[in-house]
Amino acid sequence: GEDVEQSLFLSVREGDSSVINCTYTDSSSTYLYWYKQEPGAGLQLLTYIFSNMDMKQDQRLTVLLNKKDKHLSLRIADTQTGDSAIYFCAENRNDYKLSFGAGTTVTVRA
Amino acid sequence: NAGVTQTPKFQVLKTGQSMTLQCAQDMNHNSMYWYRQDPGMGLRLIYYSASEGTTDKGEVPNGYNVSRLNKREFSLRLESAAPSQTSVYFCASTSFNYGYTFGSGTRLTVV
């Protein structure tokens, strides 16, 4: 199985907040990332957080990192239909290789 | 402003055929990667090249070979395709810890 774990599906009502959770196993990971993949497309870097940070905010996106529990979350405020996609959590283990979770499919309903 | 370009975008192969997936980046990145994406399994690293002139195996290298032709180009070869290699293949590149840039993918079907 993956070293990075995510729930597979999330359904959210338009205008609500979405929270996608991720757990990782390597405490030496220096950077953690969130990627977005729209249907038929490649992965797009949404945001990243350095391991010495607890939180990072970027417009509608908030990333929270709990190093003690090795837990990473992505909150999307005011979720829109354009936010429907697969979201991947990834960790960098100091060797320029990223390990990805299986991805969380977010469906935004009207 | 092309970023990472992969060719072809789609391919159907018969079992036993060979093919090469091409990848080129114009960002002067040092490191390049090949991943495969299968439903429910995320992305798995096939091979990577930390810098020009070096290549290393990733998590799932069996059945594949790579060539780092120059700093820009990193190709993935399937010598004898098998149905288990049906997947979406992504090339990526990076120079720093600020994330990878991905290509749009090659959708390969082996029948």
CA distance linking residue B49 with residue B55, whole number of Å: 4
Residues whose CB falls within 8 Å of the CB of residue B63, separated by 6 or more in sequence, listed in order: B78, B79, B80, B82, B84, B85
Residues B43, B90 contacting (CB under 8 angstroms): yes
Q: Is residue A2 scored above 60 in pLDDT?
A: no
| pLDDT, tens digit (0-9, with 9 covering 90-100), for A29-55 | 788 999 999 988 899 999 999 888 899
Residue A30: closest C-alpha in chain B:
B97
Q: Which two tokens stand for residue A101?
A: 């979770």
pLDDT of residue B97: 63
Inspect the interface and report whether the beta carbons of B42 and A45 lie closer than 8 Å. no
Shortest alpha-carbon distance between residue B64 and chain A (Å) = 18
Q: What angle do CA B45, A95, A44 make, to 5 degrees?
A: 55
Kindly tell me if the per-residue pLDDT of B72 is higher than 50: yes
Read off the tokens for B92: 């990526």
Find, among B8, B1, B13, the residue nearest to B104 by Cα: B8
Which residue among A8, A30, A48 sits closest to B40, beta carbon to beta carbon?
A8
* CB proximity B5 to A under 8 Å: no
